[in-house]
Amino acid sequence: FLIELTDEQKEFQATARKFAVEEIIPVAAQYDKSGEYPFPLIKRAWELGLINSHIPESCGGLGLGSFEACLITEELAYGCTGVQTAIEANSLGQMPVIIAGNEQQQKKYLGRMTEEPMMCAYCVTEPGAGSDVAGIKTKAEKKGDEYVINGQKMWITNGGKANWYFLLARTNPDPKAPASKAFTGFIVEANSPGIQIGRKEMNMGQRCSDTRGIVFEDVRVPKENVLMAEGAGFKIAMGAFDKTRPPVAAGAVGLAKRALDEATKYALERKTFGKPIVEHQAVSFMLAEMAMKVELARMAYQRAAWEVDAGRRNTYYASIAKAFAGDVANQVATDAVQIFGGNGFNTEYPVEKLMRDAKIYQIYEGTAQIQRMIIAREHVGKYKA
């Protein structure tokens, strides 16, 4: 596992970095205040090839690996994680179709995303089922050549902006049926009759990302839109996470790196007791700790991405990367606010936004606690084998 970036990887990284610094950072605070969806930035990222990087070449995409997606994601998140999350939610929505869709489904639903800037969403979480995916209540009942879907989803990123959804619903009414057979994955057109999109939720951080509840009432979906087969949904939904958790970890690293950079620049300028605060060991040691965490979290996501690109099951590494980077983003952002002192607590300075934005990294795409359950299961399993 050696990290020597190819020329192509360096090019994507540099493009994403330039876009983040020149186009995202200048408007990030305004989007945070207004909560407006950053479609102009998403359109520009699409034009630069920084969105949908892993859509197969057969569907008009770039067919890049998880590693490249992570390099791009870290740079975008450095600019603003609200913008990055809107983009990353596209990857999550597409991933079930990439890993389980047939040729017709891929060409129809992934192909259209390469023709113009559009979004999709991953519709799994419900008001009563987040970490406990098997607790999903949304039902899909087969009627002839269609499935009729009823239920409610919650906290759906891109919920109000998506062209189509990946939706997980229960197709086996038997409550004792195992999760591995009870659920089915569907592709659902967002303009289907019976879909009611809720209001945009105003969250603590990442405010320009579009998060909503969605109600499905007698929504009819053709059987052609079933992914793989009836009963395969849970496995598909969980399989998507192995590929999307490394980029989420990369986003957390991007935020942490931004916090470290802002804190370091401030510590070099701010003077107390007659000298820059960076010359006080109390502050320089904080910066050293922050730097250690950023570097190690980056190595964690790169290992997880490298494993999955090598065709190996990366569940263990993906969860380590997601859990560690999520914690690091929060610790480093909090320390950045501390180094800024009273200014850090004020909205005129950039670090309070970073601190608010960081929290969700310990919650979405599997909480910090769920990651530890997975890591423990995978770790102990090696000794039982």
Would you name the residues annotated as active-site residues?
365
DSSP-assigned letters across all residues of 222-278: EGGGBSSSTT-HHHHHHHHHHHHHHHHHHHHHHHHHHHHHHHHHHHHH-EETTEEGG
Nearest CA-CA partner of 314 in 302, 305, 322, 323 = 305
Question: How far apart are alpha carbons 79 and 355 in whole angstroms?
Answer: 14
DSSP string computed for 93-119: HHHHHHHH--HHHIIIIIHHHHHS--E
Alpha carbon separation from 233 to 100, 228, 238, 366 (Å, rounded):
10, 8, 9, 17
Q: Pick left, alpha or beta for residue 35 (phi over 0 → left; psi -120 to 50 → alpha; otherwise beta).
A: left
Decide: 51 and 87 in contact? Cβ < 8 Å. yes
Looking up tokens 């017709």 gives 104
101, 162, 92, 116: which is closest to 322 by C-alpha?
92
Contact 150, 220 (CB under 8 A): no
14 in Cβ contact with 35 (< 8 Å): no
Which runs of E-coded beta strand occur in 25-103? Answer: none
Q: What angle do CA 263, 359, 297 make, to 5 degrees?
A: 65
Q: What angle do CA 90, 95, 99 make, to 5 degrees?
A: 160
Other C-beta atoms lying within 10 Å of the C-beta of residue 9? 17
